[in-house]
Structure 1
């Protein structure tokens, strides 16, 4: 019985640490934060859609399999340093694989993922952007967890107006 409990805790630990690693930014006044949970996705998935719109049905299928989306954005130098340190620590845990790096227009963007049930899915997509946007210093942390269909992901990140979404769309076309 003890082995079962320990095994279960070890299996759940990476999922729990994702949200806990960055939750502290939610209540900082220097940080713009958005967190959407699985309850919100389930509610959105119940929205009555036209059966004749296949794109809308695919989009709903994508979001109903998501667990959480977290986006934290700051221009404050101290917070940006703290974000960079927390991201480095989070990545050193070793559960994410690097997907790509983009250094363009004063922005350094890194994408990581945790493998999913097959090559078309990931359990987590993680992005860290550090640099300049419209002449302002900026850092952004994005974490999307759940059963994420990579073929639909660029649509979601574009709709959320996430910086780096365009780079992710380009990467998807290459895959």
Structure 2
């Protein structure tokens, strides 16, 4: 009986979760949108590279990427697409179990962070950021989504290394 209830719930909830992902995937193909998607397969490849594991900083980096499922960064300077991205971000936040981690306004940028609790303290299973404002005098909207077993203390380092727009904002989370 329990198995059939779980199966029915899983079938009912699957469209909700796949719909949330497809909302953001549609932007990847749009003109005037920059997108970067890194999947778990890439993280596995990076983790297998023969790196100097005696270096504590490198070992922390390897541990971080081994536990990530994906990173998606979508950005645009187009204000109408940016408004759509914000609407989809808000819809995703309101329909999921994400909690506000922090928000702030700095240098003509409004930034919001949301997360889902993770496996232990200082870890989250999903981290989402919406940044809206201007950069170099141009409007910008950035949506960042990271899923996996995410150590909040280490994720800003990864974002900076990948040159993710808004990476400097992640440092403020810690």
1:53-72 aligned within 5 A: 53-72=55-74
Unaligned 5+ segments in structure 2 are none
Measure how far apart 1:61 and its partner are.
1.0
Whether 1:108 and 2:105 are equivalent positions in the alignment is no
Structural mapping, 1:127-166, within 5 Å: 127-166=129-168
Partner of 1:42: 44
- Counterpart in the other structure of 1:33: 35
The number of aligned residues is 172
Shift in alpha-carbon separation, 1:80–1:66, aligned structure 2, 3 A: same
In structure 2, C-alpha distance between the alignment counterparts of 1:126 and 1:92, rounded to whole Å:
13
TM-score normalized by the length of structure 2: 0.90
Distance in 2 (alpha carbons) for counterparts of 1:65 and 1:9: 26
Query: 1:17 Cα shift?
Result: 4.3
Q: C-alpha separation between the residues in 1 aligned to 2:71 and 2:46?
A: 14
Structure 1: which 4+ aligned runs deviate by more than 6 Å? none
Note the alpha carbon deviations across 1:70-98, whole angstroms, 9 max, x for none.
00000112211111111111111141111
Q: Once the 2 structures are TM-superposed, how far is the Cα of residue 15 of structure 1 from its aligned partner?
A: 5.2
Whether 2:83 is the aligned partner of 1:78: answer no
Runs of 5+ unmatched residues, structure 1: none
Q: Assess if the C-alpha contact under 8 Å between 1:102 and 1:167 holds in 2.
A: no
- Superposition TM-score, scaled by structure 1 size: 0.90
